Copies of this chain bind each other. A is one copy, B any other.
Amino acid sequence: MNFASDNASGASDKVMAALAAANSGAAMPYGADRWTAQAEKALCDVFERDCAVFLVPTGTAANALALACLTPPWGAVFCHEHSHVMGDECGAPEFHTGGAKLVGLSGGGGKITAAVFAEALRAFPRGLVKQVQPSALTITQATESGTLYSLAEIAGLSGAAHDAGLGVHMDGARFANALAALGASPAEMSWKAGIDVLSFGASKNGTFCCEAVIFFDKARAADFAFRRKRAGHTLSKGRLLGAQALAYLDGGHWLDLARAANASAARLASGLAAIPGTRLPWPCEANEVFAILPRRTADALRAAGASFYDWGTRGLTAKDALKSDEVLLRLVASFATSGAEVDLFLATARNAAARK
């Protein structure tokens, strides 16, 4: 019953097999191999556009290197106050950008609103030398609260950012989960909605260590290869990344994996919502469930072997305030989560609630 993180799973069997298959024989190093070339091509196909694609081994590298191409060191990068780039990467964006300032915006359920973003922009007048300059907006899809921006919301934020001269980045650590949930096309959820650069996540959803940074405007990518090399993120045996990405995309495998994870999360969410004394502060829209329940129940679940994180109060608004004996839990399903795990978790929670 590991609901702590979708990073707790390994690679999918298909990805693992592809890795083994790519292992034999010689290939030119540092990404000059045919797997990498094919993976870059496959991603362009998926996004229905000629893109600049770069494979990297971690999501933190993807985000920080992508942002570094959107902001000068004296730029302001607007993000949600609870976003991964703001709080979970030990300052990686600041490091890779040469010291840009991340400006955290508030918003319920992990989402930035148009109004909050507009107000933030007004606080950083263009050309006022004593202040850092607005340079980029980054949004997370699905968000850290497991919610989704609609296509219209993405387009609205992107449009406002572009109007103010900012570039727009999407942290798509759970891009596949969001896409499967929205039923949109990759193009619709990215460049057609105004995204300039995408961190295309894959590690949480079935690869071992493979993410892609995708520039829809290739002109913005001019520096990326140098930044990646200099950061130490150009793998010598590049075929390792290429082979993972190829298998991940092949035949819609990635969306199958995401749908499985989303279904497990949905089953978990509806089961929890039906237990008296348990409530969901916001809907489960992808593969994460956030549930408020008695601390006693959480203890019983842990005692039964379940793992998950206590989420503090992040993302809660006043109407969802915790009572003194309640906790907010984050429960993450991955492609490898089994129905049996979900059912056992729910039964344990129900028992604890009934025991009173």
Contacts and interface: CB of A to CB of B under 8 A. Distances in A.
Interface of A: 2, 4-5, 7-11, 16, 19-20, 22-30, 56-62, 64-65, 72-74, 87-92, 94-102, 129-133, 203-204, 208-209, 223, 225-227, 229-237, 239-240, 336
B58 A26 contact: no
Task: State the oligomeric state as a number of copies.
Answer: 4
Contact of A100 (B58, B61, B91): B91
A10 B22 CA distance: 8
B230 A87 contact: no
A226 B92 contact: no
* Secondary structure call for the A interface: loop
A135 to B, nearest CB: 11
B101 A226 contact: no
Contacts of A88: 130-131
5 contacts: A60-B229, A64-B232, A73-B94, A94-B94, A203-B237
A130 B20 contact: no
B129 A225 contact: yes
6 closest Cβ contacts across the A-B interface? A61-B232, A7-B29, A94-B99, A10-B23, A2-B26, A60-B232
B101 A73 contact: no
A209 to B, nearest CB: 5
A248 B143 CA distance: 39
Contact of A20 (B20, B239, B336): B20
A142 B99 CA distance: 28
A25 B336 CA distance: 8
Given A74-B91, A87-B131, A23 B29 contact: no
